[in-house]
A and B are shown apart, each in its own frame.
Chain A
Amino acid sequence: MPVPNRYVIVGASHAGLEALRAIRMQDAEGSLAMITRDDALPYSPTVLPYVVSGRSAPERVALKDEAWFAEQKAQLLRGRTVTAVEATANQLRLDDGSLIGYERLLLATGAAPQLPPIPGLRGVKFHVLRRLDDAIGLHAALPSVKQAVVLGAGLIGMHAAENLAKAGVQVTLVELQPRVLAGYFDADAAAIIESAFSDRGVRLLLGRRAAGVAADGAGIRLQLDDGSELTAGLLLVATGVAPAMECIADSGIATDRGILVDERMQTSVGNVWAAGDVAQARDFYGTDAGARIINGILPDAVEQGRIAGQAMAGDPALRPYPGGVPLNTYTFFGQQAVSVGRQDIGETVLREADRARYLKIVMQQDQLTGIFGINAPFDPGIMWELILRRIDLGPLRAAFLADPQTVARRIMSRSWR
């Protein structure tokens, strides 16, 4: 048994990297190893649609390079998959059979595409978009593709559809829900987005389910639940992701839909933490203190990663995780959509919508619970703080509704400048 590392981090995306930084703020020397299944340097899954489109060159998306790891006195093990966490022995078993010991472990393994139960899917060639190799493969396939079907109108699917369309591909988007980006926007907002896609020739088939798929020459043939059929040279399945936690199957670490963690990102096993898309953590809005959600968004992965790193290194400055707030930014065809918070808690106190602009504000009593805009300027980071700090907007309510960006900046200047 080799000398165990003081810290081991599995996963090299935002949560893992931020944890590494937080550990090094507190402990400059303790041995640290980061394990990633990718051969590539650390990258963000969020950038992958831009690799597909060619906007981002694969060699320029690395979040950190080897020199950075050397500077951090951290060992980066690339192209290695953890097959098992042996928590009682405080060690990891890797795909090459080797063992790595740890004193403190962070699981930041992220999420993996969740494939829908479509008959015939396993028998056809299709793409997913979660790893850099996926994006590079998709990008390489573009020149020969004339028609594409994208399953799923979540962020990955939408980004991919847009980028395929911009590359000249005839795209059909199939979504089970009656609107796009249902998790983030209401029907009015979605309508603005949908029309932008329709205007650029993307065909949207909403409220439809794929009933079966079969190979068709080099491409595929897809049956929908209304009996219609689509043929395409390329099928992209973007119907969602699920926490990547196969490796902890027999570890004794408690899971639900993801790995359950407390407000310090600690799992049910004392020296194991989890953060990012794999973690199921406190819900900011949860009325039940035990309510746990998978928030699955990048800025929250950063927050969780930092908290986990601080906890692992014993940083006294740690402030417990306040709970996940849904957040997103989404740009499409040069337009900006931003959502901060929840639509379904409290009441809608402002709603402005036309074809080009949309703004909705949701409040509970005098506290902000959500703000959603398309082409409506406001600072999402400030709004997030307003929600987390439960700022009383009562005295400024009217002004805030009239000009949320300016008034929120005034509150920021007074409260945390």
Chain B
Amino acid sequence: MPAYNTIAFRPELCNGCGDCMRSCASVKTGSADPANSRIQIAADDGSYALALCRQCADPKCVASCPAAALDKHGDDGVIAWDGSKCVNCLLCTVGCAYGGIVYNAAERHVVKCDTCDGDPACVKVCDTGALRYITTARIYNEVGDLEDLFAPGLSGCQGCNTELVMRHTLRRIGPDTVLATPPGCIPGMGAVGYNGLTGTKVPVFHPLLTNTASMLTGIKRQYRRLGREVNAVALAGDGGAADVGFQSLSGAAERGEQILFICVDNEGYMNTGMQRSSCTPFGAWTSTTPVGERGRGKTQDAKNLPVLMMMHNCEYVATASTGFMEDLYAKLDRAIDASKRGFAYLHIYSPCTTGWRFPSQDNMEVARKAVESNFVLLWEFAPGEGLRLSRDPGRPVAITEYLRVLGKFRHLADEDVRHIQGTVNRNLRFIEGLAGGQHPAMASLAADRADQAGTQR
């Protein structure tokens, strides 16, 4: 069964302005009378209540219609009303528990939301972000039927974000793949396997923590030599990418090996017991930057690995987050494509419920807040195009909104928070500078590649 786009409502962002209802009514009836709106928002004790068709997957209104006048469309999921069949019996309104289909006295028949053919008028006029048209269903429809290439029952921690990254990325990349998972959480949860058993349905191996990109080089080169299209893919932690694995990573990137290297950044050595890596941010508690009488967590800022990789002039470099799956998938698609021509590097931020100390159900919330506070910036780089911010960093939530949900930052003093805010601001300025082509390095990099592209043509 396919998934569908949907109109989502966040009452905490609603200010009750009523623009959505006027917009809907105008589009649907030519009159701006909110009574004619298919979306109804009512004040409720400081919050707002929503009556709107949910375009249910298993719609009771359709099942309750005696005249076959309602039907859920397979292509867009909209429950469509056919006025030529409707007998005005109102039984659909009994079936709906959401006030999503109601009798309209002016029009003398039942009315309901049809999502304006995928471009809902209500959402377009909502300035607060309370109404959003969520289109992540596209991802599900595209990849939902693809085989999950990891075995069920990997032994990740409850709520593990990395497992999510693994399953999403690999099913998209597909079975014609050789997968490297250097020591860390990914093989630790059984991706390569234990004692003769494997956890992955594609060929998979443990490289050393140090040589992932080099082993993939050998594999990819040999298959290219044989004329076979095989994806050489790494799912590596930040330690194996930014620290001890950096030399081989840098070498392969410089050589332009046709590899897709995905760094799953959980900001430390989480599998071995939460030790510090160079990607651990300032102030963070880890088991090797403990908090005590004198210790206040890590005393240096994180290494900005994706920027370093960009300066290798890779075929594609991007940062992504599971809190923004459409963005992640778009970048994954580009990275897969780029890896057929050269080195593609995807840096996915992956909150760690165990190592960062937050409740396992808050994973997505943490991932989102990291981005919404600009602690994590989402961008992509391609030669000739330069760097582009893929999410507007304007209007960030306060950094404290992010820091306070994580146990590893619980000890921070005000000055530490100021330091982190300063780092976030500096990173933002730096990346925005690169995005604007104002940074000399980026300007020349982009120009170089443009020249090369020109020469090749």
Contacts and interface: CB of A to CB of B under 8 A. Distances in A.
A61 B67 contact: yes
Given A409-B40, A414-B49, A381 B67 contact: no
Interface string B215-229: 000000000000000
A398 to B, nearest CB: 14
Given A14-B63, A331-B90, 5 more contacts: A47-B66, A61-B85, A302-B60, A302-B63, A329-B94
A182 B84 CA distance: 31
A370 interface: no
A254 to B, nearest CB: 28
Interface string B243-265: 00000000000000000000000
Contacts of A380: 90, 93-94
Contact of A56 (B50, B87, B98): B87
Residue of B50, B60, B99 most packed against chain A (CB within 10 A) = B99
A327 interface: yes
Nearest to A379: B99
A44 B65 CA distance: 8
Nearest to B1: A25
B66 A44 contact: yes
A245 B26 CA distance: 52
21 contacts: A46-B66, A50-B87, A56-B67, A61-B66, A63-B68, A298-B91, A299-B94, A306-B63, A327-B94, A329-B94, A331-B88, A380-B93, A380-B94, A382-B97, A384-B94, A384-B97, A406-B49, A410-B42, A410-B44, A410-B45, A412-B99
Interface string B178-195: 000000000000000000
Contacts of A43: 66
Contacts of A299: 60, 64, 91, 94-95
Contacts of A63: 66, 68
A302 B64 contact: yes
Contacts, number: 121
A21 B57 CA distance: 12
B131 interface: no
Interface string B94-115: 1111110011010010000000
A417 B66 CA distance: 26
A409 B49 contact: yes
A302 B95 contact: yes
A299 B63 CA distance: 8
A228 interface: no
A396 to B, nearest CB: 9
Interface string A348-376: 00000000000000000000000000000
B264 to A, nearest CB: 34
Contact of A406 (B42, B58, B93): B42
Nearest to B11: A413
A329 B85 contact: no
Interface of A: 14, 17-18, 21, 25, 43-47, 50, 55-56, 60-63, 298-299, 302, 306, 327, 329-331, 334, 336, 338, 340, 377, 379-382, 384-385, 405-406, 408-410, 412-414, 416-417
**What are the 5 closest A-B residue pairs judged by CB atoms, nearest first?**
A44-B66, A413-B49, A329-B90, A46-B66, A410-B44
Contact of B68 (A45, A61, A385, A417): A61
Interface residues of B, number: 36
A65 to B, nearest CB: 10
B82 to A, nearest CB: 9
Nearest to B48: A413
Nearest to A305: B63
Contact of A381 (B65, B87, B88, B96): B96
B51 interface: yes
A44 B67 contact: yes
B89 interface: yes
Interface of B: 11, 40, 42, 44-45, 47-51, 58, 60, 63-68, 84-85, 87-91, 93-99, 102-103, 105, 108
A56 B88 CA distance: 11
Contacts of A302: 60, 63-64, 95
B102 A377 contact: yes
Contacts of A408: 99
A329 B102 CA distance: 12
Given A46-B91, A299-B60, A409 B42 contact: yes
A400 B375 CA distance: 46
Given A44-B67, A56-B85, A381 B97 contact: yes
B89 A331 contact: yes
B196 to A, nearest CB: 34
Q: Among A306, A327, A329, A330, which residue has the most Cβ atoms of chain B within 10 A?
A: A329
A46 B63 CA distance: 13
Contacts of B45: 410
A371 B281 CA distance: 60
A117 B418 CA distance: 90
Contacts of A21: 58, 63
B280 to A, nearest CB: 40
Contacts of A50: 67, 87
A299 B94 CA distance: 7
Contacts of B103: 336, 377
Given A379-B96, A381-B99, A382-B98, A47 B87 contact: yes
A381 B96 CA distance: 5
A55 B64 CA distance: 19
A414 B51 CA distance: 12
Q: Please indicate which of the listed interface residues B63, B94, B102 has the most CB atoms of chain A within 10 Å of its own CB.
A: B94
Given A381-B94, A381-B97, A410-B42, A60 B85 contact: yes
A299 B98 CA distance: 15
Contacts of B51: 379, 409, 412-413
Contacts of B102: 377, 379
Nearest to B54: A417
Given A50-B87, A412-B49, A329 B93 contact: yes
A358 B63 CA distance: 29
Contacts of A416: 97
A21 B102 CA distance: 25
A410 B49 contact: yes
B99 to A, nearest CB: 4
Contacts of B85: 56, 60-61
Contacts of A417: 50, 98
Nearest to A331: B88
Nearest to A60: B85
A334 B107 CA distance: 11
Contacts of B64: 14, 298-299, 302
Given A299-B95, A414-B44, A329 B89 contact: yes
Contacts of B91: 46, 298-299, 329
Contacts of B67: 44, 47, 50, 56, 61
Contacts of B49: 406, 409-410, 412-414
B448 to A, nearest CB: 54
A14 B90 CA distance: 16
Nearest to B44: A410
Contacts of A62: 68
B110 to A, nearest CB: 10
A46 B48 CA distance: 37
A413 B49 CA distance: 5
